[in-house]
Amino acid sequence: MDSDYAGIVDAIREIQQITKEQLQYILETEGKENEEYLFRAARDVADRVFGKAVYLRGLVEFTNYCKNDCYYCGIRCSNQNAERYRLSEEEILSCCDMGADLGFRTFVLQGGEDPYFTDERICRIVEKIKAGHPDCAVTLSIGEKSYESYRRYYEAGADRYLLRHETADNEHYCMLHPATLSGENRKRCLYDLKKIGFQVGCGIMVGSPYQTIDHIHEDFVFMQDLRPHMIGIGPFIAHKDTPFKDKANGSVDRTLRILALLRLIFPQVLLPATTALGTADPMGREKGILAGANVLMPNLSPSAVRGKYLLYDGKICTGEEAAECNVCLKRRVERIGYYVPESRGDHPDFAKSDAKTDAKTDEKMDVKTDVKTDA
């Protein structure tokens, strides 16, 4: 193995920071052994904080109407081929009821920016979910809103909010979005959410068009300032009905290396192995966990609409029922030596006790790293 590579990994882990030069070296130096050293270090850090726990979040994709026109996204408003749907309040609540029966303790309501879902409607839904499932966390992922709207969601009982910043570089942001959207506003939202008291998630697409190492480094600098509780990253995957239909997909390998770096720099962060990673590689989610991720977000949406929430081409698990996804994912997690606790899985700063208890439960479990790519 390359001793420079190991030395840099150790230094990043030690000081929890990364220079642009180190980032470039870690991302661009080839070699299975180097990579395995990086992933093992990240796993080790995750282990010390979370043990072998992998948290599941039940994802309810409740509307694919969107007023925005992001160049990369399949549900952008100008995609005439998208078959639009929105779930009723009853449907959303029944997804959560079913999810709770399956053992989920977090529900993520995600959608396009759909004006039908006014603050009143969102608050009512959040209140009803919390009333029915007081032991569960509710996460919203519904885009850019005002401080006042976010405050209302929080008062209605929402615990967490996911809003990927997409890129910290404002010029790069403009290359991915129409002029109605700005990087400044996106970042303003994240700071507002944090101030209000949410557990906040930001994130990027790895390999989004025009992304450079400098941009990724800016993302690290931004995240060190924001100090998010969750970071969602997955490879960019082109959607056939968008302006980026001919752009190259992001690399799985680079996504895994960035996941590992995030774990080294933010030891306590909640880090999903995303559906996009599982779409780009059939074993992508397992590989993500073995590179330091500790969250999976299976779909709880009714099977009738699953095939319609298509942000990118080829999305996996659009044919299954929620219960099937749940069993399948638990099995996949266990096969690599991890387990799924039935707890909310809060960020350690917010957790009363569960993250720490989970970490102690299975100290002796083996981690199996020999992932086969043909499963």
Neighbours of 133 (CB within 10 A): 19
Site string for ligand SAH, 282-311 (x = CB under 6 A): -----------------------------x
CA distance 197 to 258: 27
Please name which of 203, 224, 234 lies closest in space to residue 141, comparing C-alpha atoms: 203
Please name which of 149, 158, 160, 81 lies closest in space to residue 113, comparing C-alpha atoms: 149
Q: Could you say whether residue 314 binds ligand SAH (CB under 6 A)? A: no
Residue bearing tokens 């796993």 = 43
Shortest distance, CB of residue 164 to ligand SAH, whole angstroms? 4
| Paired tokens of 266 | 């933010």
Residue 108, SS3? strand
**Between 312 and 338, whose beta carbon lies closer to ligand SAH?**
312
Using alpha carbons, list the distances in angstroms from residue 256 to 63, 68, 88.
30, 29, 37
Q: What are phi and psi of 108, to 5 degrees?
A: -110, 115
- By CB under 6 A, name the one of 34, 141, 268, 294 that touches ligand SAH: 141
**Between 52 and 187, whose beta carbon lies closer to ligand SAH?**
187
Site string for ligand SAH, 258-277 (x = CB under 6 A): ------------------x-
Helices (H), ranges, 143-249: 147-156, 170-176, 183-196, 213-226
Q: Could you say whether residue 230 binds ligand SAH (CB under 6 A)? A: no
Binding residues among 154-213 for ligand SAH as defined by CB under 6 A: 163-164, 166, 205
Site string for ligand SAH, 231-260 (x = CB under 6 A): ---x-xx-x---------------------
* Residues 261, 20 contacting (CB under 8 angstroms): no
35-43, 45-53, 105-113, 343-351 -> range binding ligand SAH (CB under 6 A): 105-113
CA distance 193 to 308: 29
**Between 5 and 236, whose beta carbon lies closer to ligand SAH?**
236
Q: Could you say whether residue 228 binds ligand SAH (CB under 6 A)? A: no
| Paired tokens of 267 | 């030891």
**Between 311 and 325, whose beta carbon lies closer to ligand SAH?**
311
**Between 74 and 341, whose beta carbon lies closer to ligand SAH?**
74
Which residue ranges make up the site for ligand SAH (CB under 6 A)?
72-73, 110, 112-113, 141-143, 163-164, 166, 205, 234, 236-237, 239, 276, 311-312
